[in-house]
């Protein structure tokens, strides 16, 4: 139990019996993380605004005699006296249900099976989906592309059971710069990105990779480098040499 004095700009809460003093609007997820308490999540990424899409981070929030389930990644702490249980039976039951649904959709995704095992879930009760399906529709790739890269090259397509992630009209997106940020951020590794003979392929488009004249290595898609150069008004030859060799030359 912490005995640190609470300042006027801090709020005191209990998380799994541990006292935390946080600034207003701090999310439960970050407050728990500061205490060394791990809350599982699939759609959270520090580079984008949290939005609670996957629901795996569901915890039990108690205020007085009342309690309810909330998503830890986007629930802001705004008042004193909150008690949060990350592994209460209600929280674990809600988490198991979410994982059951995700496992039914994507039965062969390892990270889902690992998370299920951590909460004592062996298999899903629901009808098994396509073994090849890996997308859990968390939308993290879309948010990375829009909020961080600024390309707006992908988004949600269709609705209901037909909903998926894709390019506009499922055609080759000329807004894509081949940076691969979506693939790197994807929690289930469902976005295919390959590189061969100086060409990166992603979203059914091929991007030629720049080759460093110093070390001879391919280092980034030319489209990506040119987009960055124009956005920050850099000289035409700024990215001529790879990042490693440019550092050595300096």
Quote the pTM value.
0.87
Q: In the chain, where does the domain assigned CATH 3.10.20.740 lie?
A: 1-138
Assigned fold of 1-138: Ubiquitin-like (UB roll) (3.10.20)
**What pairs with residue 208 in β-bridges?**
199
pLDDT (tens, 9 = 90+) of the chain, 250 residues, equals 444 444 558 999 999 999 999 999 999 999 999 999 999 999 999 999 999 999 999 999 999 899 999 999 999 999 998 999 999 999 999 999 999 999 999 999 999 999 999 999 999 999 999 999 999 999 999 999 999 999 999 999 999 889 999 999 889 899 999 999 999 999 999 999 999 999 999 999 999 999 999 999 999 999 999 999 999 999 999 999 998 998 754 3
Structure-token pair, residue 61 = 């929030």
């Amino acid at each position: 139990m912490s005995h640190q004095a609470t300042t006027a700009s801090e709020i005191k809460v209990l998380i799994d019996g541990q006292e935390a003093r946080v600034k207003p609007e701090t999310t439960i997820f970050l407050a728990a993380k500061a205490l060394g308490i791990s809350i599982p999540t699939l759609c959270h990424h520090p580079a984008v605004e949290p939005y609670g899409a996957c629901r795996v981070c569901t915890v039990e929030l108690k205020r007085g005699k009342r309690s309810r389930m909330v998503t830890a990644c986007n629930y802001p702490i705004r008042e004193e006296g909150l008690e949060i249980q990350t592994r209460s039976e209600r929280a674990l039951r809600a988490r198991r249900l979410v994982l059951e649904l995700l496992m039914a959709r994507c039965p062969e995704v390892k990270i889902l099976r690992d998370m299920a095992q951590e909460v004592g879930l062996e298999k899903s009760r629901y009808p098994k989906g396509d073994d090849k399906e890996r997308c859990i529709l968390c939308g993290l790739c879309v948010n990375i592309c829009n909020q961080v890269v600024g390309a707006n090259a992908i988004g949600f397509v269709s609705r209901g059971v037909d909903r998926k992630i894709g390019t506009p009209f499922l055609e080759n997106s000329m807004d894509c710069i081949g940076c691969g940020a979506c693939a790197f951020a994807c929690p289930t590794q469902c976005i295919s990105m390959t590189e061969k003979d100086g060409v990166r392929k992603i979203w059914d488009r091929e991007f030629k990779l720049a080759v460093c004249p110093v070390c001879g290595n391919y280092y980034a898609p030319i489209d990506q480098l040119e987009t960055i150069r124009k956005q920050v008004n850099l000289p035409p030859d700024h990215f001529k040499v790879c990042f490693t060799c440019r550092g050595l030359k300096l």
